Amino acid sequence: MMAMIEVKHVAKDFKKPIRKPGIVGMMKTLFSTKYTITNAVKDVSFSLERGEIVGYIGANGAGKSTTIKMMCGILTPSSGEIMVDGYLPYHPKQRKEVLKEIGVVFGQRTQLWWDLPLIESLHILKAIYDVSATDYQERFEFLTKVLELDPFLNQPVRTLSLGQRMRADLAASLIHNPKILFLDEPTIGLDVLVKDRMIKAIKEIHRVYNTTIVLTTHNMDDITDLCKRVIILDEGQILYDGPIQAIKKSFGEYRHVSFLTKEPIDLVSLQEELGKGIQVSKDDGYIKITLNMAYTSVNQVLKQILDNYKVDDIKISEDTLESIVKKIYETKQIS
């Protein structure tokens, strides 16, 4: 069975003319054959099955948006091949077929008509994508409900708040019921409540339509909430591709036990008492104990703390995805 998206040994290079200073230098640049070459993406390969939600993450300049643009047909790979639902998205004769099957939300770049009411933009998109009246009504009612569009359907897009416009853009990208949805920083700049609505809406859209979703974001909470699989890109190359849980196992099962006490504590002595694989530090008034589950269990640490100290408060947490990804960038490898 063919994957929904197949990326095979894809690379993308950008050529930039070497510019000399001054007006004369600028004129010479127009006729110069000297260039610097930037390797934005280097030999990237992965495949996505129908209905997957994948986090595609990396630092600024890692090549995320370049890859997304190639999958959408905006850019053509320098080498390699991309297949989207069996089509080449950047092929002039196949691009139209790909565009029928994808929806795209690029951060704060709207695809809506600025001076028209939102509902008019949706009607225009209905005509562009040749959506039947029955299908349009079904999707319009569903999207209006899950994205809570009713209060601003008749407002011009330019009058919408950022949160309203992001929900409107998501509706616009889904009105033709695409098989694949590309989300590039969909929650950037949103407050907590609006972001939560967006995440819930994306989950519901996926549940109902089994849409394949590719999510790029710097917000690791979005990845944790939506994705089971993550692809980590660094300097145009894939550092990791697999389940989120497997990353945690690769870096050890770490837990953090933080407790508050009025008793004086010698951190060095406490660390020696707790034994191998333990780190003790102070964090905002709490004593923070970081333990590797390969050597010590949370129960052992809790017992020793509660037996020896009068504890006013206690918290237990695990490594966040954000801290794990940071370690991956620092080591440039999965251990």
Question: Strand, helix or coil at 106?
Answer: strand
Give per-residue pLDDT as tens, 84-132: 999 999 999 999 899 999 999 886 678 899 999 999 999 999 999 999 9
Looking at the fold, whether 109 and 56 belong to one and the same domain comes out as yes
- DSSP label at residue 318: E
Segment 81-84 long-range contacts (CB within 8 Å, at least 24 positions apart): 81/6, 81/8, 81/9, 81/10, 82/5, 82/6, 82/7, 82/8, 82/10, 83/2, 83/3, 83/5, 83/6, 83/8, 84/4, 84/5, 84/180
Give tens-digit pLDDT for 135-179. Answer: 999 999 999 999 999 999 999 999 999 889 989 999 999 999 999
Q: Does residue 76 sit in the same domain as residue 205?
A: yes
Q: What is the mean pLDDT of residues 35-63?
A: 88
Same-domain check for residues 150 and 83: yes
Quick one: 227 and 132 in the same domain? yes
Helix, strand or coil for residue 108?
coil
Q: Which of 8-12, 160-164, 186-190, 228-232 has the lowest mean pLDDT?
A: 186-190
Q: Is residue 335 part of a domain?
A: no
Contact 90, 78 (CB under 8 A): no
pLDDT of res. 22: 66
Q: What is the mean pLDDT of residues 205-227?
A: 88
* Residue 267: pLDDT band with limits 50, 70, 90: confident
> Same domain for 215 and 275?
no
pTM > 0.85: no
> Does 328 fall in a domain?
no
309, 163: one domain: no
Classify residue 34: in a domain, yes or no. yes
Strand partners, 117: 156
Residue 135: phi, psi to the nearest 5?
-65, -40
Which CATH number belongs to the domain containing residue 222 in this structure? 3.40.50.300
Contact call for residues 94 and 87 (beta carbons, < 8 A): yes
Residues 179 and 91 in one domain: yes
Instruction: Look at residues 317, 328, 252, 323 and name the one whose alpha carbon lies nearest to residue 289.
Output: 317
Its domain, for residue 293, covers 252-318
CATH of the domain at 290: 3.30.70.100
